[in-house]
Structure 1
C-alpha cells in the first residue's frame, strides 16, 4: 500500500475540507487542523496514488477559490 499526506494552508480550512470531502474515494480521509486541510490518500500502486493526488489537488484548488469568492460575495450583501 502506498500513502501520501497532503497538508495545505487556507483562510477557511473547515469550509474547504467540507467542500472537497464528497469527492473523496474510500481510500481518502480529509480533515481540518488549525489553519490547514490535511488529506491522506492510500492506493495500491504508485500510478494510482499519483493520479488520485493530482485529481485531489485540482479539486482542492477549485474548492479554495469557491470559498474565497463566496466570502467576497458575502461582504457585499446588505
Structure 2
C-alpha cells in the first residue's frame, strides 16, 4: 500500500519556485504549476499554485520526504524573495561604466 501527500502552495512566481525545487525532487515526486483563474483575470502571468505530489511506500518515508520538501520550499521562497528585493534596489540605468580612461595603467 502506497502513502500519498499532496502539497499545494500559492505563490506570486509559482513557476520560478517550482523550477528551483525540481532538482531536489525524487522519483516518487511530481511538481506542477496550476494557473489561478483570478491571476489570469488580473493579467498576472507569474502567479499560480505549486502542486507537489509525493508517493512513498512507508509512512516514515512519506514524512521524511514531506519534511525535506517543506524545508526546500521555504529556502526557494526565501531566495526568490531576497533576489527580487536585491534586484529592485539596484538602479536600472547606471550610465557609463567608468569615467576614467581604461587604456591607462595605475601603479599601486
TM-score computed with the length of structure 2 as normaliser: 0.69
Structure 2 partner of 1:14 = 15
Post-superposition shift, 1:77?
2.1
Unaligned runs of 5+ in 1: none
CA distance in 2, matches of 1:31, 1:73: 27
2:65 is the alignment partner of 1:52: yes
- Find runs of 4+ consecutive structure 1 residues off by over 2 angstroms: none
The reply on whether 1:32 has 2:33 as its aligned counterpart is yes
User: Rg larger in 1 or in 2?
Assistant: 2
Q: Going by fraction, where is strand more abundant, 1 or 2?
A: 1
Structure 1 position 24, deviation (Å): 0.4
Task: Return 5+ residue gaps in structure 2 as ranges.
Answer: 36-47, 92-108
Q: State how many pairs are aligned.
A: 78
The structure where helix makes up a greater share of residues is 1
Choose which of 63, 75, 78 in structure 1 pairs with 2:76.
Answer: 63
